[in-house]
Chain A
């Protein structure tokens, strides 16, 4: 049974977490909107896991508050816990039990006794049904990750916390997991994702927050962050060598010219500015900015 009193899955206000003299989270505020995938990005030690630990009640905040569907995680944890599913960063190896037993126990922890239908649905969906009698150590790396996601979903949560769910996973499996995460979003789940793979965040997240040294440096739609903090690379290859001067010119070699232009600037604008006609061009290559570049730029600016 879920208690959803408020439509905002997560609202964090001035959250502070100190470990002795070290302030790991410094007054962070942001919210995750209903139905979105929000990426919390940052280098190691930035404070991401501290925030996740507070949301899952593994840690208590020093000050500030975190509300899940309007309920304070510190004051009423029994209510907030029912509404969230958590995929931990590291694979949990429950050595004594098989896959189905693990999911049965997990259901029981949420007060669900006859949850076989949901468990079998998830096992099928995650491609684990035929492996349901295996112990965790008998599963492949990918299966273990899928089991972690299955565990987080047994009680049908409305808000999912994915703490680096694809860490150490190969690219093929990563893409399978991304597809599954997008399916979950379509089913109505709101998701908070922390990841080191910026490509993952770029593909999945509608909005991202970049955190560094415990401080949230920006919270914006993903494309906006890319547009704001990166430049487009335009490589022109002309039919004949000629001299070009432009403030956007980064390098030139014979008849090849590389320009760095703001993301909003189009190829036509550049050609017009350089007074180059289309007949003079042999080839054009345009490389868009990436979230990874934006991420590096944000961290470098601060």
Chain B
């Protein structure tokens, strides 16, 4: 337990040491998204669920921030450790792969949740300014479930990618060419119900759609997709990426770049 606690505390202390980069910077990004899309353009967008656009946008942005930061936390932790060489210390010490994975994904969840919470607080402040009341939470347990699922799954993806990346370029290529498009096309900014049926069908193949809408259901009580499907996708995602992360640790290299 001490080993696990040490790894976890290292993960949390690491991102707290660079809080401007890990928390303040995502806060500024969320603030700008809410200001530009939610407040300025939002009045021109009709939401198919009949809600104010800002209400639709806030949970999407919360999940986007959470997923991005969970991914960034594990991937940058591993990549910087590979670069500095202290990943070798972890392999040389009597630490199991399960301890490493759980410490890292809980660290990812903590950072993702902090940034997600900051985004929610900023978003609901805008909402109060625009609508005169705060944005409540319809299903707290479902919200809680999808926060954990999103943090864990993207923490696991970060571990997998960081172990197999050979350069910083490969890591940022994954973020730029896979993660970012899937996030943007996963229903953060628009409801897929407002899309052409062909693009709706394409969007339904995007697993991020289910996580984003799962969290949206937790906050608003409405979703573009069936909530049961969202839960199933999240469970399958967690189990698959857990095994993939475990395999990456078993077969991947801990040696320094």
Chain A residues engaging chain B, CB cutoff 8 angstroms: 53, 56-58, 77-79, 81-82, 84, 86, 88, 90-97, 101, 105-113, 151
Contacts and interface: CB of A to CB of B under 8 A. Distances in A.
A109 B3 contact: yes
Contacts, number: 77
B133 interface: no
Given A92-B85, A95-B84, A108-B7, 7 more contacts: A56-B92, A58-B92, A92-B89, A95-B80, A105-B10, A109-B6, A109-B90
Given A77-B94, A110-B93, A111-B94, A88 B88 contact: yes
Interface string B1-43: 0110111011001100110000000000000000000000000
Contacts of A90: 85, 256
Interface of B: 2-3, 5-7, 9-10, 13-14, 17-18, 80, 84-86, 88-96, 254-256
Contacts of B2: 108, 111-113
A7 B190 CA distance: 68
Contacts of B10: 97, 105, 108
Given A105-B6, A108-B5, A94 B91 contact: no
B255 A58 contact: yes
Nearest to A161: B92
The 3 tightest CB contacts between A and B, nearest first, are: A108-B6, A109-B93, A92-B85
Contact of B96 (A78, A88, A94, A113): A78
Contacts of A84: 92
Interface centre among A77, A78, A88, A90 (most CB of B within 10 A): A88
B250 to A, nearest CB: 10
Nearest to A110: B93
8 contacts: A58-B91, A88-B85, A88-B88, A93-B85, A107-B6, A108-B6, A109-B93, A111-B2
Nearest to B18: A96
Contact of B94 (A53, A91, A105, A110): A110
A108 B3 contact: yes
A92 B96 contact: no
B95 A109 contact: yes
A96 B18 CA distance: 8
A81 B88 contact: no
B89 A109 contact: yes
A53 to B, nearest CB: 8
With most chain A CB atoms within 10 A of its CB, the pick from B2, B13, B96 is: B2
Contacts of B3: 108-111
B13 A81 contact: no
Contact of B88 (A78, A92, A107, A110): A92
A110 B99 CA distance: 13
Nearest to B6: A108
A148 to B, nearest CB: 10
A94 B6 contact: no
B13 A86 contact: no
Contacts of B18: 96
B252 to A, nearest CB: 11
B92 to A, nearest CB: 5
Contacts of B96: 78
B100 to A, nearest CB: 10
Contacts of A113: 2, 5
A109 B3 CA distance: 5
B91 A56 contact: yes
B94 A93 contact: no
B85 A96 contact: no
A281 to B, nearest CB: 58
Given A105-B10, A109-B6, A57 B92 contact: yes
A151 B17 contact: no
A96 B94 contact: no
B18 to A, nearest CB: 7
Contacts of B13: 96-97, 101
Contacts of A57: 91-92
Contacts of B89: 92, 106, 109, 151
Contact of B86 (A82, A94, A110): A94
Contacts of B256: 90, 92
Given A90-B85, A93-B85, A151-B89, A58 B254 contact: yes
B178 to A, nearest CB: 28
B224 to A, nearest CB: 40
B6 A81 contact: no
A113 B96 CA distance: 18
Nearest to A108: B6
A53 B89 CA distance: 12
Contacts of A58: 88, 91-92, 254-255
Contacts of A101: 13
A147 to B, nearest CB: 12
Nearest to A83: B94
Contacts of B84: 92-95
Contact of B14 (A91, A92, A93, A96): A96
A205 to B, nearest CB: 23
A56 B256 CA distance: 14
